[in-house]
């Protein structure tokens, strides 16, 4: 998919180094919207999602000895635990900002 993207949403400039964080954010948002207007997001991110989910299967069954059903069940729990840890860390960070 990346090879098909030949033009940016905005032309390259020599001022790219001088953009403020807000300008960089706006430019990135524009580029993302332009890309998603032309391409299916599920296809664009399919490889990344597969690699992310495979990480949990490798974590729970590094030797590949479990049945596919058991590996998937354990990987689902490992993924849930990962997101629960993220939620806990976010809650602690929010609590610390008070």
Rounded (5°) CA angle 29-32-35: 150
Domain layout of the chain by residue ranges? 46-96
Nearest CA-CA partner of 23 in 38, 15, 33: 15
Q: What does each of the 98 residues of the chain score in pLDDT, given as a tens digit?
A: 455 555 555 555 545 578 999 999 999 999 999 999 999 989 989 999 999 999 999 999 999 999 999 999 999 999 999 999 999 999 999 988 76
Of 91, 93, 61, 89, which is closest to residue 75 (Cα–Cα)? 61
Whole-structure pTM over 0.95, yes or no? no
Integer CA distances (angstroms), 8 to 2, 11, 28, 32, in order: 12, 6, 10, 10
Find out whether 40 and 65 touch, Cβ atoms under 8 Å.
Answer: no
């Amino acid at each position: 998919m990346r090879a098909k993207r030949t033009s940016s949403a905005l032309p390259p400039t020599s001022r790219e180094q001088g953009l403020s964080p807000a300008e960089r954010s706006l430019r990135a948002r524009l580029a993302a919207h332009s890309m998603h207007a032309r391409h299916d997001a599920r296809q664009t991110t399919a490889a990344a999602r597969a690699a992310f989910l495979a990480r949990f299967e490798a974590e729970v069954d590094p030797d590949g000895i479990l049945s596919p059903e058991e590996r998937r069940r354990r990987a689902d729990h490992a993924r849930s635990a990962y997101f629960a840890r993220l939620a806990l860390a976010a809650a602690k960070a929010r609590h610390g900002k008070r």
